Amino acid sequence: MRDNSVLRKLLGLCVSTVVVVGRELRDGGDGGRSNLVVWVRRRVGVRGRCGRCGGVAPWFDNGGGERRWRHIDMGMATCELIAEAPRVSCPEHGVTVAEVAFARHDSAFSRAFEDLVVFDAIVSNKLAAARRHGISWRAVDHMCIRVATEALGRIDLLEGLVAIAVDEVKYKKGHKYLTVVCDHLTGRVIWAAKGRNKETVRAFFDALGEERAAQLQFVTCDGAEWIRTVITERAQQAIVCLDTFHLIGWAAAALDEVRRELVPLLPTHLPSPAALHEAFLWSEIRTVTKTATISLHGNTFEVDAALVGSRVEVVFDPFDLESVEIRFQGRSMGQGIPVTIGRHSHPQARPEAAPAPAPTGIDYLGLLADRREAELAELSGSINYAQLTLPDAEMQVGAAHDNTPTDTDNTDNTDNTDNKEIQL
């Protein structure tokens, strides 16, 4: 294999369109990197194509002579490709530079070099990629635009949309915004443009088309009028889902407005006990029977005979159904006279549960145990349990009393001894 063929394979050039003409390795000097210069040309017989659209076009002239493209580094040396750039006459774009097989249109870098730099910019950032390859930040930015434009031309991001999200994002100081549209199913950005107004949203629906806009089922947005208005115009069948952040803000604002309206209407004095009692009464509507009675949950009350056949309001305490008040057209018609009382409280009335007592922290059982131990300690010091258990204790006590001189007779001594024995 010849050297030019080996070099062409190392550079990744297409054998069917590019021929390596020559090469030169130039020393960088003073410790700089070497530079590999490779001269290439278009293979004979290849038809000219427009550099903008890629369509076949007739040759126009040889252009402005040779041009240089920065290529992927070869080891420790930088690499440059040099070739002529003839022009073609495109029916759509007019006279323009012919398409180059190894580079994109209007670029000073080869296709492989741009792909490498853009990849580094994605995994790190544009500034790091620029320093890594020794180019400017602006050159990296233009590479990203060209690569993204070419990639987006191969696919249709607006195909098969069902649920989308529309929102704006600030990208510069001041009022500089981008309107961004995302696909909910994939979570990817499918469209973006400068501005945040109705015209920007209409531009998205123009790119989407009427047929695909009719397939939208859900659209989420932040509630901005310039978004919802266009969605209503261009996708009427879609359900608009508003984010919770703005919904909570709107609810809080409405609540504040109502509060400001009602605060001046609130009474400045406390209600009376009778008004409080009236506020907690229940009422139900009943029709007075022909016998001038009404029935309320098993209880029967007699009312004024003039109310027969009328619908009256029965006002009562839900915890005391034995006493009810009859009202007709907002006027009190007196108390109902109990006839039959079968229930004393309303079936839906539930008394409030008493709160659990708060713990006091006092150990009552421990206090009782300590007190009992103290009482037992006092009793154990005054009772002679040993004397109570001796069998001849009574005899010893009796003998002690017999030896004691007294003025009484023997009978009295015997009685006193017996009494003391009984006391022991």
> How confident is the model at residue 108, as a pLDDT?
92
Do the strands 35-42 and 77-84 form a parallel or antiparallel pair, or are they unpaired?
Answer: parallel
C-beta contacts of 200-209 below 8 A and 24+ residues apart: 201/166, 201/226, 201/227, 201/230, 201/231, 202/230, 202/234, 204/166, 204/179, 205/230, 205/234, 205/235, 207/158, 208/158, 208/161, 209/158
Residue 70, classed as helix, strand or coil, is strand
Asked if 73 and 38 count as a contact pair (C-beta separation under 8 A), the reply is no
Give the pair of three-digit tokens for residue 60.
């126009």
Largest CA distance in the chain: 171
Residue 310's identity, in one-letter code, is: S
> How confident is the model at residue 289, as a pLDDT?
94
Phi and psi, residue 184, nearest 5°: -65, -30
Q: Could you name the CATH architecture of 158-246?
A: 2-Layer Sandwich (3.30)
> How confident is the model at residue 362, as a pLDDT?
86
Asked if 321 and 345 count as a contact pair (C-beta separation under 8 A), the reply is yes
Angle at alpha carbon of residue 148, lines to 147 and 151, rounded to 5°: 85
The C-alpha atoms of residue 251 and residue 133 are separated, in whole angstroms, by 55
- In the sheet with 293-296, reading across from the earlier edge strand, the strands are 293-296, 299-302, 337-340
Asked if 198 and 221 count as a contact pair (C-beta separation under 8 A), the reply is no
> How confident is the model at residue 386, as a pLDDT?
60
131-137-143-145 Cα dihedral, nearest 10 degrees: 140
CB atoms closer than 10 angstroms to residue 102: 19
Asked if 324 and 354 count as a contact pair (C-beta separation under 8 A), the reply is no
> How confident is the model at residue 182, as a pLDDT?
95
The C-alpha atoms of residue 253 and residue 242 are separated, in whole angstroms, by 16
Phi and psi, residue 201, nearest 5°: -65, -40
Angle at alpha carbon of residue 229, lines to 227 and 232, rounded to 5°: 110
- The distance of Cα 176 from the centroid of its chain, to the nearest Å, equals 27
> How confident is the model at residue 419, as a pLDDT?
47
> How confident is the model at residue 406, as a pLDDT?
47
> How confident is the model at residue 268, as a pLDDT?
74
pTM over 0.75: no
Please report where in the chains the tokens 């040396």 appear, as a residue.
77
- In the sheet with 218-221, reading across from the earlier edge strand, the strands are 188-194, 176-183, 163-172, 218-221, 239-242
> How confident is the model at residue 263, as a pLDDT?
86
Per residue of the chain (424 residues), give pLDDT as tens: 477 788 888 888 887 788 888 889 988 777 788 999 999 988 888 888 998 888 899 988 888 888 999 999 988 899 999 999 899 999 988 999 998 889 999 899 999 999 999 999 999 999 999 999 999 999 999 999 999 988 888 888 899 999 999 999 998 888 899 999 999 999 999 999 999 999 999 999 999 999 999 999 999 998 788 998 999 999 999 999 988 888 898 899 999 999 999 888 877 777 788 888 899 999 999 999 999 999 999 899 999 999 999 999 999 999 999 999 999 998 999 999 999 999 999 988 887 777 777 888 888 888 899 988 888 887 766 665 565 555 554 555 455 445 545 444 444 444 544 444 444 3
State how far the alpha carbon of 282 is from the alpha carbons of 113, 320, 332, 347, in Å.
84, 11, 15, 12
